[in-house]
Amino acid sequence: MMETHDAPPARRLQQDIMAATEQIQGNGAASAATFHPPFTDSSGSAVGPQLTAQQFADFRRDGYLRVDGLSSREEIDSLIAAYDRLFTEKRGWESGALFDMVARDDPKKDLSLPQMLWPSRYEPLLRQTRLYASAYSIAQQLLGPKLVNVLEHAISKPAGRGAATPWHQDDAFSRPGSGFVEAISIWMPLQDVDVGSGCMQYIRGSNHGRLFDHRSPNNDPRIHGLELVAPPDLTHCVPVPLPAGSCVIHHSRTIHSAGPNTANHPRRAYILGYSVQSKPHQRIHKDYPWNLEKQTARDERELAAMTPLRRSWRRLQKMIRGYGL
Ligand SMILES: O=C(O)CCC(=O)C(=O)O
């Protein structure tokens, strides 16, 4: 029986959780999904934005969710110089952490869509922020306490010429043996972002669909990124403009893209990915063909930076992945 909102906060939360669970199960969305209580630090204080049961239900229904109040504009502004320096100094190029997402890497040319993996390895400041703590807190509320930070990346769309991010599903990048199935990305702009500067766009509800066939952009396996083979139906396409300090979260199955940056300033995004371990029967056993055929300069640089033993192990892994685990 539903109680009124005169109930104590903990009881109210429990009611909200039950209501959200009913809503989730009622509309056929992932029924195993559980709403997790607000995240607190060691002193018992709440960290970052506290999601409501309605937001949780919206995320499970739509496959994406805007959340405000992760950080202040002052904190975001204080990160910009360090973020830009990472790209101008081409940090991580030699080890393959920096590359072009949608074109072949050419050291003599400007990258059309520069992407950097694990940028906080080069700029630890990124991890020492309210923004970072808020993202973790949101991820824990959505995925529960067993979550793992599986990805950190930065995508800087250059002013006036940053290329579009093609339509794709993050699940298409998954590899056998990863042991993860339920994954989310928390996408945080370091300035206000709108359609003209390349905000994120989602196909609402595509998180309930299957994984579609992907290929490399221009069908060129020397390019790192992936795109859907068949362009999606745009009937339910939703652009998500955001102010700095807010974020949009998406599920790894949700179809998404971002337009080109036509603004006169870079479009800086900082993205954290979280996942929870899957049951063995949910694991991917064989590499997807679009990943097996990849032969990128980024991979070559990464291999060259490894010890000979690690390099041989990586090559063996790639061979095995083609046969299935
Ligand atoms: O920032 C972008 O342009 C795309 C980001 C994206 O595809 C992702 O975070 O999964």
Pick the atom of ligand 1 nearest to 256's CA: 7
Q: How far is the CA of 258 from the centre of ligand 1 (A)?
A: 7
Cα 5 to Cα 11, 54, 56, 240: the distances in Å are: 9, 15, 19, 32
pLDDT at 281: 62
Q: Is 62's C-beta closer than 6 angstroms to any atom of ligand 1? A: no
State the chain's mean pLDDT as an integer.
Answer: 87
Task: Report the C-alpha gap between 250 and 87 in whole angstroms.
Answer: 25
Look up residue 81 and give its amino acid.
A
Cα 54 to Cα 22, 36, 104, 237, 269: the distances in Å are: 11, 13, 43, 21, 26
Tens digits of residue pLDDT in 104-159: 999 889 999 999 999 999 999 999 999 999 999 999 999 998 899 999 999 999 99
Task: Report the C-alpha gap between 22 and 283 in whole angstroms.
Answer: 28
Pick the atom of ligand 1 nearest to 170's CA: 10
Specify whether the CB–CB gap between 224 and 188 falls below 8 A.
no
Provide mean pLDDT across the span 184-203.
Answer: 98
* Residue 306 CB-density burial (10 A; 0-12 exposed, 13-18 middle, 19+ buried): middle
Q: How far is the CA of 178 from the centre of ligand 1 (A)?
A: 20
Q: Is 258's C-beta closer than 6 angstroms to any atom of ligand 1? A: yes
CB atoms within 10 A of CB 233: 10
Pick the atom of ligand 1 nearest to 198's CA: 3
Helix, coil or strand: residue 116: strand
- Of 156, 161, 271, the one to substitute when testing ligand 1's pocket (max ligand atoms within 8 A of C-beta) is 271
pLDDT confidence band for 18 (50 / 70 / 90): very low
- Determine which residue's CA is closest to atom 10 belonging to ligand 1: 170
All residues at 6 or more sequence positions from 324 whose CB lies less than 8 Å from its CB, including other chains: 176, 285, 286
Q: How far is the CA of 8 from the centre of ligand 1 (A)?
A: 40
Q: Which CATH number fits domain 47-323: 2.40.30.10, 3.20.20.140, 2.60.40.2130, 2.60.120.620?
A: 2.60.120.620
Of 137, 166, 138, 135, which is closest to residue 152 (Cα–Cα)?
A: 135
All residues at 6 or more sequence positions from 282 whose CB lies less than 8 Å from its CB, including other chains: 181
pLDDT at 319 over 70: yes
Mutual angle of helices 53-62 and 9-26, in 10-degree steps: 20
pLDDT at 9: 40
Asked whether the CA dihedral 276, 282, 286, 291 is positive or negative, the reply is: negative
pLDDT at 13 over 80: no
Q: Is 252's C-beta closer than 6 angstroms to any atom of ligand 1? A: no
Instruction: Give the ranges where 115-217 is alpha helix by DSSP (H).
Output: 130-143
Q: Is 271's C-beta closer than 6 angstroms to any atom of ligand 1? A: yes
Q: How far is the CA of 49 from the centre of ligand 1 (A)?
A: 22
| Listed range (24-28, 72-76, 108-112) with the worst mean pLDDT | 24-28
pLDDT at 61 over 50: yes
CB atoms within 10 A of CB 135: 29
Query: Which of the listed ranges 29-43, 272-286, 295-309 does the model predict with the highest average pLDDT?
Result: 295-309
Pick the atom of ligand 1 nearest to 153's CA: 9
Q: Is 155's C-beta closer than 6 angstroms to any atom of ligand 1? A: yes
Provide mean pLDDT across the span 203-232.
Answer: 97
Question: Which phi and psi angles does 273 have, rounded to 5°?
Answer: -110, 135
Task: Report the C-alpha gap between 233 and 40 in whole angstroms.
Answer: 41
Q: Is 135's C-beta closer than 6 angstroms to any atom of ligand 1? A: no
pLDDT at 249: 98
* Residue 31 CB-density burial (10 A; 0-12 exposed, 13-18 middle, 19+ buried): exposed
Task: Report the C-alpha gap between 210 and 231 in whole angstroms.
Answer: 14
pLDDT at 184: 97
